[in-house]
């Protein structure tokens, strides 16, 4: 995989966040894929859409990434309201 040989039986940890930043990966994997695709994906998207409707228009000034191997995200997000 990617030029690396993985021995049979070796433990492998997959990072969805890393896959989402792979330029060769055309689809995002935030809600997983296949038979275990997130059951709440549709609800989560509607919730995000509704939440954003109540936000005034804003510009992102700066962000700080949180330190986590498993979940990417911001620990800080500075915005200016237009």
Binding site for ligand HEM (CB under 6 A): 16, 30-32, 36, 38-40, 43-44
**What is the four-CA torsion angle of 73, 75, 78, 82, rounded to 10 degrees?**
50
Closer by beta carbon to ligand HEM, 18 or else 43 = 43
CB of 82 to ligand HEM, least distance (A): 26
Provide, rounded to whole angstroms, the least separation between the CB of residue 53 and ligand HEM.
17
Cβ proximity to ligand HEM, 40 vs 57, nearer residue: 40
Smallest distance, Å, CB 43 to ligand HEM?
5
Of all residues in the shown chain, the one whose CB is closest to ligand HEM is 40
**Other Cβ atoms closer than 10 A to 19:** 15
Beta carbons within 8 Å of 76's beta carbon, 6+ residues apart? 62, 63, 64
Q: Are 76 and 66 in contact (CB under 8 A)?
A: no
């Amino acid at each position: 995989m990617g030029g690396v040989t993985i021995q049979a039986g070796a433990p492998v940890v997959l990072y969805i966040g890393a896959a989402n930043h792979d330029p060769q990966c055309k689809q995002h994997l935030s809600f997983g894929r296949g038979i275990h695709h997130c059951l709440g994906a549709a609800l989560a998207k509607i919730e995000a859409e509704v939440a954003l409707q109540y936000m005034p228009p804003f510009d992102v000034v700066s962000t700080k990434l949180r330190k986590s191997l498993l979940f990417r995200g911001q620990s800080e997000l500075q915005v200016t309201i237009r």
